[in-house]
Amino acid sequence: MKRYKLSKTIGGATSSLIVLNVLSQMISTIISGILVTKQIISPGAILAIGNLSGLFFTGVLSGMSQKIGLSTIKPIFEKFEALKKTESLSLPELDEISRNIELEDIGYSYNEKQILQDLNMDFQIGRKYAIVGDSGSGKTTILRILMGQLKDYEGKIYIDGKNMREFDINSIRNQIAYIGQNIYMFNDTIEYNITLDRNFKIEEMEEVIEKSALTDFIYNLKEGVKTKLDEGGRNISGGQRQRIAIARALLNGKKILFIDEGTSALDKSNAFEIESKLLDNPELTIIMISHNLDNRLLDKFHTIYRLEDLKLKFLLDERA
Q: Return all residues near 108 (Cβ < 8 A) that are at least 6 apart.
A: 114, 115, 116, 138, 141, 145, 150, 152, 153, 154
Rounded Cα gap, residues 211 and 75, in angstroms: 43
Q: What is the pLDDT of residue 258?
A: 94
Looking at residue 140, what is its pLDDT? 92
pLDDT tens-digit readout, 118-173: 999 999 999 999 999 888 889 999 999 999 999 999 999 999 999 999 999 999 99
Q: Average per-residue pLDDT in the chain?
A: 82
Q: Which residues contact 165 (CB under 8 A, 6 or more apart)?
A: 156, 157
**pTM score above 0.85:** no
Cα separation, 287 vs 304, whole angstroms: 10
Whether 256 and 177 have beta carbons less than 8 Å apart is answered as yes
Question: What is the structure's pLDDT at 2?
Answer: 47
Q: Domain spanning 100-316: which superfamily?
A: P-loop containing nucleotide triphosphate hydrolases (3.40.50.300)
What is the pLDDT at residue 191? 94
pLDDT digits (tens, 9 = 90+) for 3-37: 445 555 555 666 666 666 667 667 767 776 776 67
Q: How many CB atoms lie within 10 A of CB 190?
A: 25
Q: How large is the average pLDDT for residues 185-204?
A: 92
247-266: burial string, b at 16+ Cβ within 10 Å, e else? bbbbbeebbbbbbbbbbbbb
Q: At what angle do helices 268-280 and 202-211 cross, to 10 degrees?
A: 120
CB-CB contact of 116 with 107 (8 Å): yes
Question: What string of DSSP letters covers 226-264?
Answer: GPBPPGGGTTS-HHHHHHHHHHHHHHTT--EEEEESTTT
User: Residue 175's closest CA among 285, 91, 289, 303?
Assistant: 285
> Which pLDDT value is given to residue 71?
60
Cα 182 versus chain centre, distance: 7
Q: 50-86: per-residue pLDDT in tens?
A: 666 666 666 666 666 666 555 655 565 565 565 555 5
Burial class (CB in 10 A: 0-12, 13-18, 19+), 222: exposed
Say what the pLDDT of residue 3 is: 46
Helix (H, G, I), strand (E, B) or coil at 123: strand
**Within 10 A of 212 (CB to CB), how many other CB atoms are there?**
27
Cα separations in angstroms, 307 against 104, 198, 226, 275, 320: 16, 39, 43, 21, 23
Which has the higher per-residue pLDDT, 117 or 90? 117
The Cα–Cα gap between 282 and 189 comes to 31
